[in-house]
């Protein structure tokens, strides 16, 4: 779930977000040459905040003469995390420092801090602590003030610094990075919030389209507890959760509703999980934690980073980027989006995901050519070219592109309409009557992957969807083979006209790239010795690559705060927006849209009766017949932004 996905080889695991933020600090085996220990001196501070609480901070300062070409003074590069800054002890060193290898060999003062109430830091941990715009006394603290106070201390107490500070972090540390730039310290000149948790109810970790992200949230909160302290053995040791089955679909189906799942397995031990599922509307709990509402007085340069295939914080980068531009139009801000899973740009080569190849080491390119030069320029004054507003990887053609705005100004809205016989076209329907229907059974939900799994496989974001297209409870619409490339850039907006026999239903919409069936032979030719343009490898013939998929819980169709029941049999609109994409459907490929009413156990089951879903009783889970209209006065489709 949010801040990552938990997993282990057998059952749960360490969360991806944890791995992303700590992989540079806690390897399983020290390298042969301990570069960090020989080039840096470690100091540990308990830095006082304005309310008197002290935050544990590890600082790594370059030794005298450690870097021949750079004797300092050095800038600070910070990372604030709830996942521990260990190893603890001034004689204990991590194997690596910084966001990538380039940094530790270039002369920085690295700062790692346990956030308030976590591990070795004092105070109370509040999940995604709400930002306070008007701080009236020293007791009014948030993560912006904690960062400000930390910077003030570092500037005064760590010698040989150049007075400049940068900060970066992925996922939860991305949230802390975003928080730090609001009304920030003047010395903070560069920040990179990466996959930042931003609005958990509206598109990030906790809820998508009002549907609870079940698999990821439960997997995360059996690991992430209110506080952990290495000096307390009870909290220091992580014991993976035992699912007792390799089949998570069956595990969650047998568990019943979410309240029963919590009662049986967590037994009231984690109030953080309780907060997630009990706040199942967009109430004050969620609204107060939306950092995008507070992105004001951002004066430092910002590099916002996200992945097209981030299963946890897909929306956060866009909302952060748009908010900074809205409230701070003069602030240098760049959005970077690559073909990555959650934090994948930090720890892999980014050459592929699942069966999909990107024909380049995209992560290495980002680390060396975008991230490192960004901090070198703003923290050390190194020369750099003009900073574009967006640097994005175009999937399908597999190339990097830069734009002066995102979405690109040239992209124009067009709608892919549903037609009779499962056809999909940019032409609107002309029929006076037409609809397709299916029966959705919440006791036999559509799985989100076509294989048995005991993890939350991030590759599902590009997985082959043929397993779903064969089911009778999934509608499939498909274009003819494309006669020319079609490039889409920006958000994707399903616009459905539906009717249901239930009083509530989910509508999951998936946008899919269908590969040609006629794959080439070993010589790259098809039957008849006629070359097939852009044909896929043999095993990819007919592959239905999911590009984007999102659920929408119908009771939220008019309001996130005040859900409304469906009126059985009454036609209504279910419109929503899915996160951005930059993809080219190649000539010879087809564009496909699938519509279904469950996606399990990625999301929780909708009983299809208007009820309090976390506490739904077995008898509340009812079959419903779903109609999707495709006629002239009630056309359904998916709006996309198409490049000329």
Neighbours of 24 (CB within 10 A): 23
Please list, residue by residue across 575-599, b when 16 or more beta carbons sit within 10 angstroms of its beta carbon and e when fewer do: ebbbbbbbbbbbebbbbbbbbbbbb
Q: What angle do CA 106, 112, 116 make, to 5 degrees?
A: 160
| Residue 414 β-bridge partners | 640
Two structure tokens written together for 463: 């997985």
Which of 403, 438, 460 is the last residue in one of the domains? 403
Q: Is the pLDDT of residue 2 over 50?
A: no
Beta strands in 404-460 (DSSP E): 412-419, 423-425, 435-440
Tell me which of 403, 430, 453 is where a domain ends: 403
Give the pLDDT confidence of 41-65 residue by residue, as tens digits.
999 999 999 999 999 999 999 999 8
Question: Taking a C-beta distance cutoff of 8 angstroms, is the pair 424, 417 a contact?
Answer: yes
**Token pair 């984007």 in the structure block, residue:** 548
Q: Looking at 17-21, 87-91, 307-311, which range is the least confident one?
A: 17-21
Instruction: Identify the DSSP state of 527.
Output: G
Quick check: 220 pLDDT over 70? yes
Q: Are 178 and 211 contained in the same domain?
A: yes
pLDDT bin (cut points 50, 70, 90) of residue 230 is low
- Considering the domain architecture, whether residues 288 and 385 belong to the same structural domain is answered as yes
- Which residue did the predictor score with more confidence, 68 or 434? 434
pLDDT for the residue 232: 61
Name the band, by pLDDT with cuts 50, 70 and 90, for residue 412: very high
Q: Is the pLDDT of residue 399 over 50?
A: yes
Average pLDDT value for residue range 557-573: 98
Q: How confident is the model at residue 537 (pLDDT cuts 50, 70, 90)?
A: low
| Residue 7 lies inside a defined structural domain of this protein | no
Q: 643 pLDDT exceeds 80?
A: yes
106 and 170, same domain (yes or no): yes
Q: Which residue has the higher pLDDT, 523 or 376?
A: 376
pLDDT at position 23 is 39
Residue 11 placed within a domain: no
* Domain match, 393 and 427 both: no
* 157 and 136 share one domain: yes
According to DSSP, the β-strands at 211-212 and 352-353 are unpaired
As a whole number of angstroms, the distance between CA 507 and CA 254 comes to 23
Q: Supply the CATH number for residue 215's domain.
A: 3.40.50.1820
The residue out of 375, 403, 431 marking a domain boundary is 403
Together in a domain, 70 and 161: yes
Question: What pLDDT, on the 0 to 100 scale, is given for residue 140?
Answer: 96
Which tokens belong to 400?
Answer: 């990097």
Identify the pLDDT of residue 68: 77
Domain count, the chain: 2
Strand order in the sheet with 399-403: 40-48, 54-62, 109-114, 74-81, 161-170, 188-194, 301-307, 333-338, 390-394, 399-403
At 194-208, the pLDDT tens digits run: 999 999 999 999 999
Please give the full DSSP string across 206-265, using - where no structure is assigned: SEETTEE-HHHHHHHHTT--S---TTSHHHH-------SSS-HHHHHHHH-SHHHHIIII
Average pLDDT (149-163) is 97
Q: Of 536, 487, 203, give the one whose Cα is nearest residue 355.
A: 536
Are both 280 and 381 inside the same structural domain?
yes
242: domain range?
16-403
Residue 304, in any domain of the structure: yes
Q: Are residues 391 and 431 in the same domain?
A: no
Give, in order, the Cα–Cα distances in Å from 469 to each of 48, 289, 436, 444, 510: 58, 38, 15, 16, 11
Query: β-strands 54-62, 109-114: how paired?
Result: antiparallel
Do 392 and 438 lie in one domain? The reply is no
Q: What is the residue-averaged pLDDT of the chain?
A: 91
The reported pLDDT for the residue numbered 570 is 98
Q: What is the pLDDT of residue 94?
A: 95
Model confidence at 228, pLDDT cuts 50, 70, 90, reads low
Residue 267 has pLDDT above 80, yes or no: yes
CATH number, domain at 519? 2.60.120.260
Say what percent of the chain tops pLDDT 70: 90
Per-residue pLDDT, 420: 98
**Res. 532: pLDDT tops 50:** no
Residues 441 and 530 in one domain: yes
* Same-domain check for residues 440 and 364: no
Residue 8 or residue 372, greater confidence = 372
| Percent of the chain whose predicted confidence (pLDDT) is above 90 | 85
Whether residues 397 and 422 share a domain: the answer is no
């Amino acid at each position: 779930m949010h801040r990552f996905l938990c997993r282990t080889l057998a059952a749960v695991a360490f969360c991806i977000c944890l791995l992303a933020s700590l992989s540079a600090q806690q390897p399983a085996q020290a390298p042969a040459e301990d570069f960090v220990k020989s080039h840096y001196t470690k100091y540990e501070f308990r830095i006082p905040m304005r309310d008197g609480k002290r935050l544990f901070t590890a600082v790594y300062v370059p030794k005298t003469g450690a870097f021949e070409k750079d004797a300092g003074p050095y800038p600070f590069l910070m990372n604030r995390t709830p996942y521990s800054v260990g190893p603890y002890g001034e004689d204990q060193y991590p194997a690596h420092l910084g966001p990538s290898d380039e940094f530790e060999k270039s002369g920085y003062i690295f700062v790692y801090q346990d956030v308030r109430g976590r591990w070795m830091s004092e105070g109370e941990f509040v999940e995604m602590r709400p930002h306070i715009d008007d701080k009236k006394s020293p007791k009014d603290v948030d993560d912006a003030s904690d960062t400000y106070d930390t910077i003030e201390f570092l500037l005064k107490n760590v010698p040989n610094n150049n007075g400049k500070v940068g900060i970066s972090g992925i996922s939860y540390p991305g949230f802390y990075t975003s928080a730090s730039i609001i009304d920030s310290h003047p010395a903070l000149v560069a920040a990179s919030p990466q996959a930042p948790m931003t609005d958990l109810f509206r598109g990030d970790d906790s809820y998508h389209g009002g549907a609870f992200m079940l698999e990821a949230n439960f997997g995360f909160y059996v690991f992430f507890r209110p506080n952990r302290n290495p000096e307390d053995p009870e909290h220091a040791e992580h014991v993976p959760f035992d699912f007792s089955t390799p089949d998570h679909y069956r595990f969650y189906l047998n568990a019943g509703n979410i309240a029963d799942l919590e009662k049986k397995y967590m037994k009231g031990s984690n109030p953080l999980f309780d907060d997630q599922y009990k706040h199942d509307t967009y109430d004050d709990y969620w609204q107060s934690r939306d950092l995008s509402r507070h992105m004001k007085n951002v004066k430092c340069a910002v590099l916002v980073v996200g992945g097209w295939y981030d299963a946890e914080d897909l929306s956060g980068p866009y909302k952060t980027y748009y908010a900074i531009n809205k409230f701070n139009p003069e602030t240098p801000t760049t959005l970077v989006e690559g073909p990555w899973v959650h934090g994948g740009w930090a720890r892999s080569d980014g050459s592929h995901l699942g069966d999909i190849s990107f024909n380049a080491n995209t992560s290495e390119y980002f680390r060396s050519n975008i991230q490192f030069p960004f901090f070198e320029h703003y923290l050390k004054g190194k020369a750099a070219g003009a900073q574009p507003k967006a640097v994005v990887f175009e999937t399908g053609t597999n190339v990097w592109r830069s734009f002066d705005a995102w979405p690109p100004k040239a992209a124009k809205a067009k709608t892919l309409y549903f037609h009779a016989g499962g056809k999909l076209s940019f032409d609107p329907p002309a029929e006076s009557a037409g609809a397709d229907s299916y029966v959705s059974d919440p006791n036999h939900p559509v799985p989100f992957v076509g294989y048995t799994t005991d993890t939350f496989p991030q590759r599902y974001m590009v997985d082959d969807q043929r397993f779903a297209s064969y089911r009778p409870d999934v509608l499939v619409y498909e274009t003819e083979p494309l006669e020319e490339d079609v490039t889409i850039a920006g958000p994707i907006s399903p616009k459905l006209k539906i009717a249901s026999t239930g009083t509530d239903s989910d509508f999951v919409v998936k946008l899919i790239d269908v590969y040609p069936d006629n794959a080439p032979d070993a010589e790259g030719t098809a039957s008849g010795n006629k070359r097939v343009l852009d044909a896929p490898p043999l095993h990819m013939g007919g592959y239905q690559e999911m590009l984007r998929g999102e659920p929408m819980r119908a009771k939220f169709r008019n309001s996130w705060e005040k859900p409304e029941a469906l009126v059985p049999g009454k036609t209504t609109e279910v419109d929503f927006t899915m996160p951005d994409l930059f993809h080219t459907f190649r000539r010879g490929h087809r564009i496909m849209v699938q519509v279904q009413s469950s996606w399990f156990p990625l999301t929780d089951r909708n009983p299809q009766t208007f009820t309090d879903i976390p506490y739904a009783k077995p008898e509340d889970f009812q079959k419903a017949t779903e109609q999707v209209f495709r006629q002239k006065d009630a056309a359904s489709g998916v709006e996309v932004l198409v490049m000329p």
